[in-house]
């Protein structure tokens, strides 16, 4: 039966060629949208690792002397902070913030969830190149953001005199670097600075958290490292952000009071106060907007193709009235005619899809979509295949119904 269908399709290959081309392109369009949709959905259902409700961010903008806007030193990532000693202004700001009744806790952070600034780093660890994002935070950050500790402890005052830098990493990084072993107490820094000097203090893992997905629900998974920023000590630095957890129900008006107080303390600095939930909304839009736009365009393209295909198939059926009439006269049932028309269509679709799959298979081979996992890739491939088959079948329904209505006597009379 299938062999027979192939033969029929092959005999009309010139007429079917354009349909195959159309299905081929439709598949490519659908696949490129599906990949992103599946990728985002897959990311979305993974745990964030923190809670953003009732957390507000205060971004500090100040003159930092001759620092660069975006530096990326892949070899080392962190140029050691210039010894500057504790900054009195930042301590005053923390003190003032803790004084507000509306504020439950205060912490400093290098970067916060749903912000556009990222600090990443990477170096060779245990023979493999490892990349991760780094965030220097103060001790209260963990409880404020409700991070979930799975192993060890968070850093705190007890680390003040230590001869190492305490760091907390996420599970993913722990698995990548240490495999099945417990990472606690292990070193997670290279032996030398990027300029070749030996590193004075090693970074030592003191705890493991589930995750900290700074870029939010839709972003891919990555490695994360928290370093300790002790703003009271000589190695402390002024954080780029102060996060505060406010009492539930605190109104936006409170921002003005905070701003006035902070501005009175630090006249040369600027502050941007925004609840994380607001930042989240505008941040996620950057992910959602392109896929909505792309999805809309793709949907219209597919509707257009579907309409066109219906028209072409309809025309095909009217051309083949005599052939179908003959089959009916020889006793073929309406069901068999259905099966033939739809079967032929499926064979045509398969040709287009095979060509499409051959193209799509090149992407992972050429490493064009390295950020996408195998599972996401395969499931979006399957989803696109199934959808195209369903779509073509739907296009064939009406024309093949017309075909089954053909009365043999009339059909054979045709001309």
List residues binding another protein (CB under 8 A).
15, 18-19, 21-22, 25-26, 29, 61, 63, 65-66, 68-73, 75, 194, 252-253, 255-256, 259-260, 263, 267-273, 289, 297, 300-301, 304-305, 307-309, 311-312, 314-316, 318-319, 415
DSSP H or E segment with residue 345: helix 334-365
Gap between the Cα atoms of 97 and 104, Å rounded: 9
Under DSSP, is residue 259 helix (H, G, I), strand (E, B) or coil? helix
Smallest separation (angstroms) from another protein to the CB of 250: 13
| Tokens representing residue 26 in the block | 């439709």
Residue closer to another protein by CB (options 66, 163) is: 66
Q: Which is nearer to another protein, 312 or 357 (CB)?
A: 312
Tokens representing residue 59 in the block: 């971004």
Please count the residues of the chain. 415
Query: Cβ closer to another protein: 171 or 240?
Result: 240
DSSP, collapsed to helix, strand or coil, labels residue 88 as helix
Residue placing its CB nearer to another protein in the complex, 159 or 272 = 272
- Tokens representing residue 312 in the block: 């072409």
**Min. distance of Cβ 142 from another protein in angstroms?**
28
Nearest approach in angstroms of CB 364 to another protein is 21
**Eight-state DSSP code of residue 129:** E
Least separation, in Å, of the C-beta of 75 and another protein?
6
Q: For residue 110, with 0-12 CB atoms within 10 Å meaning exposed, 13-18 middle and 19 or more buried, which class applies?
A: buried
Q: Which is nearer to another protein, 201 or 285 (CB)?
A: 285
CB nearer to another protein: pick between 24 and 154? 24
- Least distance in angstroms from the C-beta of 367 to another protein: 15
Distance CA 367, CA 135 (A): 30
Q: Are 345 and 15 in contact (CB under 8 A)?
A: no
User: Least distance from C-beta 46 to another protein, angstroms?
Assistant: 28
| Spatial CA neighbour of 327 closest among 313, 349, 344 | 344
Inter-axis angle of helices 276-319 and 13-44, nearest 10: 160
Cβ–Cβ under 8 Å, residues 108 and 94: yes
Token output for 337: 């005619």
Pairing of strands 120-125, 128-137: antiparallel
The least CB distance from residue 149 to another protein, in Å, is 34
> Nearer to another protein by C-beta: 44 or 314?
314
- The answer to whether 277 and 52 are in contact (CB under 8 A) is yes
Q: How many CB atoms lie within 10 A of CB 141?
A: 27
Residues 392/346, Cβ–Cβ less than 8 Å: yes
Could you tell me the two tokens for 377? Answer: 């890739």
User: How far apart are CB 16 and another protein at their closest, in Å?
Assistant: 10
Q: How far is the CB of 297 from another protein (least distance, A)?
A: 6
In the complex with another protein, the residue whose CB is nearer, 151 or 323, is: 323
Nearer to another protein, 115 or 380 (CB): 115
Closer to another protein by Cβ: residue 163 or 260: 260
Sign of CA dihedral 253, 257, 262, 267: positive
What's the closest the beta carbon of residue 333 comes to another protein, in angstroms?
Answer: 27
The CB density around residue 376, as the number of other CB atoms within 10 Å, is 22
Cα gap 395→389, rounded to integer Å: 10
């Amino acid at each position: 039966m299938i062999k027979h269908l192939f033969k029929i399709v092959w005999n009309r290959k010139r007429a079917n060629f354009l349909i195959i081309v159309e299905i081929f392109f439709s598949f490519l369009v659908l696949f490129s949208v599906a990949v992103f949709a599946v990728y985002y959905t897959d990311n979305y259902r993974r745990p964030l690792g923190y809670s953003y409700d009732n957390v507000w961010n205060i971004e500090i903008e100040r003159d930092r002397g001759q620092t660069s806007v975006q530096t990326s030193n892949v070899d080392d990532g962190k140029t050691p902070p210039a010894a500057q000693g504790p900054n009195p202004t930042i301590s005053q700001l923390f003190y003032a913030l803790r004084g507000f009744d509306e504020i439950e806790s205060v912490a400093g952070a290098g970067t916060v969830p749903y912000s556009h600034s990222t600090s990443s780093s990477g170096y060779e660890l245990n023979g493999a190149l490892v990349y991760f994002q780094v965030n220097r935070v103060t001790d209260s950050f963990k409880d404020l953001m409700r991070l979930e500790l799975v192993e060890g402890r968070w850093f705190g005052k007890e680390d003040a005199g230590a001869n190492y830098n305490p760091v907390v990493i996420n599970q993913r990084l722990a698995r990548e670097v240490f495999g099945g072993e417990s990472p606690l107490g292990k070193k997670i820094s290279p032996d030398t600075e990027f300029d070749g000097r030996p590193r004075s203090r090693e970074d030592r893992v003191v705890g493991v958290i589930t995750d900290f997905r700074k870029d939010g629900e839709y972003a891919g998974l990555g490695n994360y490292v928290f370093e300790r920023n002790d703003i009271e000590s000589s190695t402390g630095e002024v954080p780029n952000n102060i996060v505060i957890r406010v009492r539930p129900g605190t109104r936006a008006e409170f921002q003005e009071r905070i701003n006035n107080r902070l501005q009175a303390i630090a006249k040369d600095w600027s502050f941007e106060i925004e609840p994380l939930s607001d930042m989240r909304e505008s941040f996620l839009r950057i992910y959602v907007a392109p896929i909505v736009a792309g999805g809309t365009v793709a949907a219209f393209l597919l509707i257009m193709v579907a309409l066109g295909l219906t028209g072409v198939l309809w025309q095909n059926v009217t051309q083949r009235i005599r052939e179908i009439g003959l089959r009916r006269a020889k006793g073929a049932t309406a069901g068999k005619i259905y099966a033939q028309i739809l079967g032929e269509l499926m064979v045509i679709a398969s040709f287009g899809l095979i060509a499409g799959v051959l193209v799509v298979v090149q992407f992972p081979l050429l490493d064009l979509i390295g950020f996408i996992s195998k599972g996401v890739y395969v499931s979006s491939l399957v989803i696109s295949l199934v959808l195209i088959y369903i779509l073509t079948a739907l296009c064939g329904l009406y024309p093949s119904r017309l075909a089954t209505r053909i009365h043999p006597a009339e059909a054979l009379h045709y001309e």
